[in-house]
Structure 1
Amino acid sequence: MLERPRAFVAAQPLPAFGRAAALRPPEPRFSLVVDLAEDVLSRRWWRGVATLSALVTLTALLAPMPRALPPGPVESFGPDQLRQEEALGISSLASGSETGLVMAETSRARPITAAPERTARELTLLFSAGDDLFGLLRRNGASAGDASRAQALAQAAGAVPAAGTSLALRLGAPDGAGRPIERLHYRARIDLELTLVRGSDGQLAAERTGIAIDRTPLRIRGAASGGLYWALRAAGASPAIAADYLQAIGASLDVGSEVANGDRFTLVVAQSRSANGEVQTGGLLYAGLDRGAGKDLSLVRWPIGGRPQWVDADASPEPVSSGLGRPVDGPVTSTFGPRVHPILRFTRMHKGVDYGARWGSPIVAVADGQVVRAGWAGGYGRQVRLAHGGGLVTSYSHMSRIVAPEGGMVRRGELIGYVGSSGLSTGPHLHFEVLRDGQAINPAGVTMVSRPAIDQGMMAAVRARARMLVGG
């Protein structure tokens, strides 16, 4: 077999694996354009450095020498001008920059013979606490006569604005006595708007506009778990409503030990809802508790002797005896008797009962009484003492805040303060004591007798009210 002769090809170097062969055009033997990033420290690189240094030196020799600016008049600034300069500087409010300042007059200002006056002014005013309508209108330019009549019309209509009310005011062209009121409008209550307008006789007149209100009360239901107070808050009750509920049922049972997980609570709260969606929430009207073990509660707020009180719709109007209720929702952490003091570290008599509770938990009175002390009491911190007659006194210590006024009367279950750690204390808790004739006694052995001031006819009305509130 004849084979075709093979051609011999000179071996060529192959490019490295993964890199394309770079083909560079031939460079001239001499060039002023040198890339100083290549061939560092070569002869060609040093020639480029020399060329660059020569160009920089030539530029420096040919550049004109700097000369000082001709001096001008020096103007000294006074404190007012310096304040204006600081206000006009670019700076954040957090750094102390001021805004809204009027620019100080300079020599470039030229006086004018007359300035145009707006024929009307549209203002939005905010009625503050302690303010009066006459003074508010006068401060914003209204004439004294119109401001006085506006206040009289508002009082006659029973529509005096409350603190926080927004008022829309329109003032006319000024005259010698000020600006006349052309229109004043505001919402006096959730169910009433008041508008003052100038009538055909030139006098201000009031126009009342009623707003439809739905007064269906708000019902809140839930199950007690992880502490009754926090269960109430999780169900949607406000802190004040939750405290009122605990105060109400605390007069009938021990909130800390007699309310079990799974017990169902019902709250009915006064509420007003206007046609435009505004909502106002009132006080607690009903406090119910369905217990898995024990007597259920159905408490209605009812006026007795001119004062609203909690009445159990299922109770009998007969005197009953019961032990002291628990003053706070929390477990007992230290009982009555000798113990080693947690701070002083020696054995001493513990004259009360300690309840562990979160900071700020509400504290209620365990029985009706008079506040004989409400203030600081040394190692006891903030303390409230209640006298209950017959030489019996209850004491509540280490509070974070006191609510009950000294000398006032409180009812069983009424809020008197909040849990804290004031005085000689290792953490937030309530130290509760019972004293008879000045001597501390064990609270577990005290029995109180309560006599409801309500008759059978009133009790029937209370039960009807309870059925209406819970929708039964």
Structure 2
Amino acid sequence: MFLKADRELELAGGGAGGLRLRSPVPRPLAGRAAGFDWTPDLGARIGSRAWWRGLATCTALCAATWTLSPGLDRPLPGDGPVPLAAPAADQARAQAIAPLALGADTGHRMAANDLVRPLATAPERPSIELGVTLGDGDGFQRALTRAGVGRRDAEAAARLVAEATPLDAIPSGTRIALTLGRRPTRTVARPLDRLSLRARFDLAMTLRRAGDTLIAERQVIAVDRTPLRLQGLVGASLYRSARAAGAPAGVVEAYIKALATRLSVGRDLGSADRFDLVIARERAATGETRLGDLLYAGIDQGRRAVRLVHWTAPGDAEAGWFDAAGQAERRGFMGMPVAGRVTSSFGMRMHPLLGFLRMHKGLDIAAPYGAPIYAVLDGRVASAGRNAGYGNFVKLGHAGGLASGYGHMSRIAVRPGMPVRQGQVIGYIGSTGLSTGPHLHWEMWRNGQSINPRSLSFIQVARLSGEDLRAFRRQVAALMAVRPGE
């Protein structure tokens, strides 16, 4: 026989008709009340006894609240905190926790206590990392000094960088990263601990401090110089089509100017024509790409093809556009040799000093004293010096039997036998010889006969031959071997 927790008494016997007795113990009233759920969920089992019991509880609570309330028109009295004075309000605001939108600055500043002791001077950082950018016309050493590098360290850094590349060859916009170390006192500049920059497209440099000296480390960057070739249809606009193909704006302008020497871009081109450009390109192993000058300009019109290569002819200072056969041709009208206004034209006129009618064999151009005078065509200086009424006079010989003369100069900038390029300064405006004021007397001759400079158009042709022609053809073959888009 044993007793169970539910107060049931069982008697076990050997027969099947065992005796089982149950003796329940009555529970107190408080215990039964505690078992009821006085606040059941009114959203569940609607209409049940438990639901009605919960509704009665809710009604009783609402009635009690209404009975004990002072009324809807009578607010409850309450005491507010005493307003703080200005210093105390600032201190409490600094230590309070409030949204930043309400003007709090929690954590930005804290009020000092008795453990805080003011310092005579604020401690310095052990090192400072900063950067400086080279501007147009800026000097490398001057940029370092401006950033806070000491004069001695700036001179040493400039000397080490100059051993690898000329300082004036570093392009503007180059970023220089600097690390300045700890200094012994505040009266001296911080020492230069580290400097790094991209000195050239194919060279990066790092300067490190070793004791009292700086050591340079060079990192050579591999560069692929395979040109970029772009092809496509002219479409509605040659400029827009070439730009959409990936050519820079300056390259497209050079391409159109090159084609303009052989055809009329606005009249002769059609939408079905195909353009062909080869541009100098450099691709560094670090991922940067830099596009250069236009090397090849081509246009395929089906019945006609123009192929021009940028090439420097022997004896020329600048490169020009040669066709695939090695011939360069330039057409056009000459510009003015000086910036000014024409005061006397070509033809018969009354001489301002001699006082009689006389043939004026050139143009008089008034300009400020000392203004530069430019050669109107490529050529060679035939004579340069004093020439009677012309004063200081320069005569240039050009191709095709042409010659040009420039008189009344204040100073001559060339010497006899010297080759000159179109646009090169050959002298300066003056009033030497028979002259009434500072101006240029400009004459042109064809086969020794005076002609009106304004009516002259020119055609210049240059042809390559010998080894120059063979080198040119090798260059053309190399450019034609470049695959488009690679």
Per the normalisation by structure 1, the TM-score is 0.53
One-letter code aligned to 1:282 = G
Select which of 279, 294, 308 maps to 2:289.
279
Partner Cα distance (1:320, 1:128) in 2? 38
- For the pair 1:162 / 2:171, whether they are aligned, the reply is yes
Counterpart residue number, 2:184? 175
- What SS does the corresponding residue of 2:118 show, helix, strand or coil? coil
Select which of 223, 236, 246 maps to 2:256.
246
Deviation at 1:146, TM superposition (A): 1.1
Partner Cα distance (2:172, 2:99) in 1? 38
Unaligned runs of 5+ in 1: 1-21, 35-46, 78-83, 92-96, 322-365, 375-389, 392-405, 412-445
- What SS does the corresponding residue of 2:310 show, helix, strand or coil? strand
Counterpart residue number, 1:194? 205
Partner Cα distance (1:131, 1:105) in 2? 47
Deviation at 1:265, TM superposition (A): 1.9
Counterpart residue number, 2:141? 134
Per-residue deviation, residues 113-134 of structure 1 (Å, max 9, x unmatched): 5655444444444444444333
Select which of 369, 375, 380 maps to 2:335.
369
Deviation at 1:300, TM superposition (A): 1.1
In structure 2, the CA distance between the partners of 1:31 and 1:468, relative to structure 1 (3 Å rule), is closer
Deviation at 1:151, TM superposition (A): 1.7
Partner Cα distance (2:373, 2:58) in 1? 100
Counterpart residue number, 2:159? 152
Deviation at 1:67, TM superposition (A): 4.5
Per-residue deviation, residues 84-111 of structure 1 (Å, max 9, x unmatched): 9xxx9957xxxxx9xxxx9899999741
Contact kept, 8 Å, 2:333 with 2:458, in 1: the verdict is no
RMSD: 4.7
Per the normalisation by structure 2, the TM-score is 0.51
Counterpart residue number, 1:70? 82
- What SS does the corresponding residue of 1:307 show, helix, strand or coil? coil
Deviation at 1:228, TM superposition (A): 1.8
Counterpart residue number, 2:279? 269
Partner Cα distance (1:243, 1:56) in 2? 89
Select which of 445, 451, 463 maps to 2:460.
451
In structure 2, the CA distance between the partners of 1:48 and 1:371, relative to structure 1 (3 Å rule), is farther
Deviation at 1:455, TM superposition (A): 4.6
In structure 2, the CA distance between the partners of 1:51 and 1:71, relative to structure 1 (3 Å rule), is closer
Counterpart residue number, 2:196? 185
Deviation at 1:261, TM superposition (A): 3.0
One-letter code aligned to 1:24 = G
- For the pair 1:57 / 2:55, whether they are aligned, the reply is no
Unaligned runs of 5+ in 2: 1-44, 341-361, 364-371, 378-454
- For the pair 1:216 / 2:226, whether they are aligned, the reply is yes
Partner Cα distance (1:189, 1:469) in 2? 26
- For the pair 1:234 / 2:244, whether they are aligned, the reply is yes
Contact kept, 8 Å, 1:270 with 1:283, in 2: the verdict is yes
- For this pair of structures, how many residues does the alignment match? 309
Partner Cα distance (1:408, 1:267) in 2? 33
Partner Cα distance (1:115, 1:74) in 2? 29
Counterpart residue number, 1:300? 309
Partner Cα distance (1:149, 1:226) in 2? 57
- For the pair 1:462 / 2:472, whether they are aligned, the reply is yes
Counterpart residue number, 1:112? 119
One-letter code aligned to 1:167 = I
Deviation at 1:311, TM superposition (A): 2.0
Per-residue deviation, residues 317-366 of structure 1 (Å, max 9, x unmatched): 6x798xxxxxxxxxxxxxxxxxxxxxxxxxxxxxxxxxxxxxxxxxxxx7
Q: Which has the higher contact order (CA 8 A, sep 6+)?
A: 1
Counterpart residue number, 2:235? 225
Deviation at 1:31, TM superposition (A): 5.7
Partner Cα distance (1:72, 1:199) in 2? 60
Partner Cα distance (2:123, 2:71) in 1? 65
Per-residue deviation, residues 239-289 of structure 1 (Å, max 9, x unmatched): 222222111102211122312233222111011112222211101111011
Partner Cα distance (2:473, 2:140) in 1? 45
One-letter code aligned to 2:196 = H
Partner Cα distance (1:181, 1:136) in 2? 14
Select which of 312, 322, 328 maps to 1:311.
322
Contact kept, 8 Å, 1:369 with 1:409, in 2: the verdict is no
Partner Cα distance (1:248, 1:217) in 2? 18
One-letter code aligned to 1:306 = A
One-letter code aligned to 1:174 = R
Contact kept, 8 Å, 2:306 with 2:323, in 1: the verdict is yes
In structure 2, the CA distance between the partners of 1:105 and 1:53, relative to structure 1 (3 Å rule), is closer
Counterpart residue number, 1:206? 216
Provide the identity percentage. 31
Contact kept, 8 Å, 1:263 with 1:289, in 2: the verdict is yes
Contact kept, 8 Å, 1:213 with 1:274, in 2: the verdict is yes
One-letter code aligned to 1:206 = A
In structure 2, the CA distance between the partners of 1:225 and 1:240, relative to structure 1 (3 Å rule), is same
Partner Cα distance (1:450, 1:293) in 2? 25
